[in-house]
Amino acid sequence: MNQVQKLLIIGFVWPEPNSSAAGGRMMQLISLFKAQGFNVTFASPAQNSDFMVDLQEYEVDKKSIELNNSSFDFFIKELNPSVVLFDRFMMEEQFGWRVAENCPDALRLLDTEDLHCLRFSRQKAFKENRLFKTTDLFVEEIAKREIASILRCDLSLMISEFEMELLESVFKIDPSLLYYLPFLLEPIDGAQMQELPTFEEREGFVFIGNFLHEPNWNAVQYLKDTIWPLIKKSLPEAVLNVYGAYPSQKVLQLHNKKESFLIMGRAIDAQEVVQEALVVLAPLRFGAGIKGKLLEAMQCGTPSVTTFIGSESMHGDLPWNGFITDDVADFVDRAVQLYQDKTIWGKAKKNGIEIVNKRYSKGLFETDFSTKIEFLCSNLQQHRLNNFMGSILQHHTLKSTKYMSRWIEEKNK
């Protein structure tokens, strides 16, 4: 790639890799583009946070931008990026029309993170105490908005093969608009495996997850009310440490020292607390995408017990680094088994390392992704001609977004 190419990332929030998997994912994408020779600018309308990464340390320019403000138009014209990456569909809705007007030749990428409409619909079905059906997706406004955003962009980056298949089969999205790019990790070699804490050097169970994410909060409630009391009956001395960024008061109120159910809050070093544990518990009952907490467990050599939603699209045909079950009694039995049986634990640990190396090693994706971006940049006009539905949506839906934004801008003056 040309060394002077510019990438503009329009972020929903400033990256916080120590707070969420989404933050880690964003830093991986930045690294990927910088390795291709891009100069990277990260812009966001979000407020600064105490835990945001210092982008200057990664040689990334930081720019605060405003919603519904034509100052963005002047900014992007001057920057003139060759590629624009929208961090989640909401940013494409807000800024996509401005990018299209001011930099029409810029390649427009969407990083979906996970399919928000899938997560939302599953959550709604769960709360209504019924099974999720794919037809649930069609009645939700969020699905219409998200699919429109995918169609308007030149390429959407997907972390889940299941979600790619869903988009192609249910929503009839052309495969040329989708690109599988999961979390990108360094492979784990034999020497690194030897450095991981042994079975004897670990203790307790752990759960970790950002509490701004509803599936995590629900999983912790499920642990507290249903699963942990049963594990505790079999393992009276066991402790469950619950870590997560942004715990609310209702989360903190679950802390119970007598029950060894300990709300620890934000982990200063997530990998350290996961490496110290014998088993990760992740009884996720709804959600989407692939789960950073479970991938982190594999990196740390820590077996996990999770649900079919938790493991969705993560391990392909490879055996899980522990157990997958939706049954409460089986979940408890498997957790106790991993906690007590060194042989089963050791096999699960090796399974996790294999999943990391065979499915998430960044070397598997770097070259192909670079080739894809280079090809699209060189053949953008033809690529867009092949996406007529996208051009229709670009013309109609973003006109309404544009004039609403203009109205708000005038109103704010």
The CATH number for 55's domain is 3.40.50.2000
Segment holding 75, helix H or strand E: helix 71-79
Hey, how many other C-beta atoms are within 10 angstroms of the C-beta on 242? 26
The domain boundary, picked from 319, 338, 360, lies at: 360
The answer to whether position 310 is within a domain reads: yes
- What gap in Å lies between CA 303 and CA 279, rounded to an integer? 5
Whether 269 and 327 share a structural domain: yes
The widest CA-to-CA distance across the chain, in whole angstroms, is: 68
Residue-number span of the structural domain to which 156 is assigned: 6-185+362-412
Whether 164 and 115 share a structural domain: yes
Give how many domains the chain has, as a whole number.
2
Whether 241 and 343 share a structural domain: yes
The domain boundary, picked from 316, 335, 360, lies at: 360
Res 1: pLDDT = 42
335 SS3 class: helix
Whether 199 and 247 share a structural domain: yes
For residues 355 and 321, is the Cβ–Cβ distance under 8 A?
Answer: yes
**144 residue type, one letter:** K
For residues 324 and 306, is the Cβ–Cβ distance under 8 A?
Answer: yes
Whether 200 and 179 share a structural domain: no
Which residues does residue 265 pair with via DSSP β-bridges, in sequence order? Answer: 243
Question: pTM for the full model?
Answer: 0.92
The pLDDT tens digits for 10-65 are 999 999 988 888 899 999 999 999 999 999 999 999 999 999 999 999 999 999 99
The answer to whether position 1 is within a domain reads: no
The torsion angle over the Cα atoms of residues 364, 366, 367 and 372, rounded to 10 degrees, is: 110
- What gap in Å lies between CA 212 and CA 215, rounded to an integer? 9
Tell me the CA end-to-end span of the chain in Å, nearest whole number. 42
Whether 348 and 399 share a structural domain: no
Whether 113 and 217 share a structural domain: no
Whether 202 and 274 share a structural domain: yes
Whether 407 and 366 share a structural domain: yes
- What gap in Å lies between CA 382 and CA 379, rounded to an integer? 6
Q: For the chain, how many helices (H) and strands (E)?
A: 18, 13
Residue 237 is given by DSSP the state T
Whether 94 and 14 share a structural domain: yes
Q: Which residues of the chain have pLDDT under 50?
A: 1-2
Res 413: pLDDT = 77
Res 396: pLDDT = 65
Residue in the block written with tokens 């009956």: 233
Whether 32 and 59 share a structural domain: yes
Residue 154 is given by DSSP the state S
The answer to whether position 115 is within a domain reads: yes
- What gap in Å lies between CA 84 and CA 76, rounded to an integer? 10
Res 392: pLDDT = 86
